Amino acid sequence: WLVSDNMHHQWLLLAACFWVIFMFMVASKFITLTFKDPDDYGAKQEPLILTAVTKVEEVHVPEEKHWPEEFQPTGKAFSGNLIRQPLVHMERLEQKNACRDTALRNLSHTAVSKFVLDRIFVCDKHKILFCQTPKVGNTQWKKVLIVLNGAFSSIEEIPENIVHDHEKNGLPRLSSFSDFEIKKRLNLYFKFFIVRDPFERLISAFKDKFVHNPRFEPWYRHEIAPGIIRKYRKNRTETKGLQFEDFVRYLGDPNHRWLDVQFGDHIIHWVTYVELCAPCEITYSVIGHHETLEDDAPYILKAAGIDHLVSYPTIPPGITVYNKTKVERYFSGISKRDIRRLYARFEGDFKLFGYREPDFLLN
């Protein structure tokens, strides 16, 4: 009888322990759901409407406040400071004062030609123009516009092979309109594009087109790469594929245009932002930076008045951060002469968009 009584007490104690553990788990789950960070990129989330920049005008900012250096338009991150974004974007637009620098005129001005108009995609329904600048998250912005134009109801439904198929994605180019309609849209529509540190963008273009080539575009390796090698490789006995050194020598050559003509529109992945979007000729509403895209994307959607209709796809952690070590590694075997010639060509992009001169490479 005593043994049976002891076992009964042990079972009661064990049951009580399980009850305590169960209640603790329920309480923990409640706390997690209540205080979960909505910007936690590590968790699987449903698509969210990005409304991070709301009621900015209600935030009181003292007049004597001086913004620290990290909020200047240098491509640095300012996550968590979204209320300051209007100031940041105003400063970025003011950076275009470099357009008036006569010493930079050849590097900052370009005609609004068919080449430029071909880069600008149109959303008439919401009066938006987006200038395509490859290697800065351009594909995701195209998806946003495809949804806004009504070709698909959500970004998740868009097949990857449709995004860049301009006969099927429902994205008209500005060049497809009459001169009158082009001017009207340039004057009245919300206009934006995205930039990135110019040298890091070139590294990304080189890797994407000549190393990995994930979209299977064989002409980059089999037609464009051999043309660059024939002209710019110093050691003609080498048989390896296009090297970054060859690529840099081609881009820095003042007479590069004769090859560009042969390559056609494929050069959009490495020509300057000036040549792509004519920022000194077209008055853009917002110029976003790839390095701060986590903050810039919701700001652009809000400024364009479409934040309640579509959201920018989730950005993997760290993917937009400037990687100085990677830049140093790629340029480590390249002569200072070739790097300086490359910078001379892209100096307009550095100066117009607030990117610091890469002294660690030039000197």
> Which residues have a Cβ under 8 Å from the Cβ of 239 and sit 6 or more positions away?
none
| Residue 39 confidence (pLDDT) | 28
Expressed as residue numbers, the domain containing 186 is 81-200+271-320+348-361
Q: How far apart are CA 36 and CA 43, in angstroms?
A: 10
H or E element at residue 193: strand 190-195
The domain tally of the chain equals 1
| Residue 1 confidence (pLDDT) | 46
Within-domain flag for 286: yes
Contact criterion met (CB below 8 Å) for 135 and 196:
yes
Instruction: Find the farthest-apart pair of alpha carbons in the chain and give their distance in angstroms, rounded.
Output: 104
Within-domain flag for 233: no
Within-domain flag for 73: no
CB atoms within 10 A of CB 50: 18
Q: What is the pTM of this model?
A: 0.75
Q: In this predicted model, what pLDDT tens digit does every residue of 118-164 receive, in sequence order?
A: 999 999 999 999 999 999 988 999 999 999 998 888 999 999 888 88
Pairing of strands 286-289, 120-123: unpaired
| Residue 170 confidence (pLDDT) | 85
Helix or strand or coil: residue 120? strand
Q: Which residues pair with 194 in a beta bridge?
A: 288
| Residue 166 confidence (pLDDT) | 81
Residue 289: pLDDT band with limits 50, 70, 90: very high
Within-domain flag for 94: yes
Average pLDDT over residues 23-31: 44
Within-domain flag for 9: no
Residue 14: pLDDT band with limits 50, 70, 90: low
What does the DSSP assignment read for 301-349?
HHHTT-TTT--PPPPPTTTTS--HHHHHHHHTTS-HHHHHHHHHHHHHH
| Residue 40 confidence (pLDDT) | 30
Contact criterion met (CB below 8 Å) for 250 and 338:
no
Residue 174: pLDDT band with limits 50, 70, 90: very high
Within-domain flag for 51: no
Q: In this predicted model, what pLDDT tens digit does every residue of 235-259 receive, in sequence order?
A: 877 778 999 999 999 999 999 999 9
